[in-house]
Amino acid sequence: MTQATLETTRAIFQKQPIIAAMKSAIAWKSGDSQWAAVRPPLVHLDTAQRARLQADLAADGFTIPNPAALAGTDATAAAVAA
């Protein structure tokens, strides 16, 4: 992965509130919606923001290696936590 690729991906995330965007991307890729939760004073992404983020990341080719391991219901996640 090149620096330019990383900068492009970072720029996509920075179009939204960054922490909420990162958590939303993990929720999307892992299939675990609990990842999208944020606590005050942070606010979650609304439906339009989430859709735009996902479209932009998909167009960029964004991936998370083994996203199922991040899902709370996955056996791998339990093994990683142990």
Q: Which domain holds residue 19?
A: 3-39+46-81
pLDDT for 79 beyond 60: no
Count the domains in the chain: 1
Radius of gyration of the chain (CA): 13
Instruction: Please state which of the ranges 13-17, 36-40, 59-63, 78-82 shows the lowest mean pLDDT.
Output: 78-82
Structure confidence at residue 68 as a pLDDT band (50, 70, 90): confident
For the whole model, what pTM was predicted?
A: 0.80
- Greatest Cα-to-Cα distance within the chain, rounded to the nearest angstrom: 37
pLDDT for 65 beyond 80: yes
Residue 10: its H or E element: helix 3-14
What is the average pLDDT value for the chain, to the nearest integer?
88
- CA of 71: how far to CAs of 37, 40, 44, 54, 74, in Å? 13, 23, 19, 18, 5
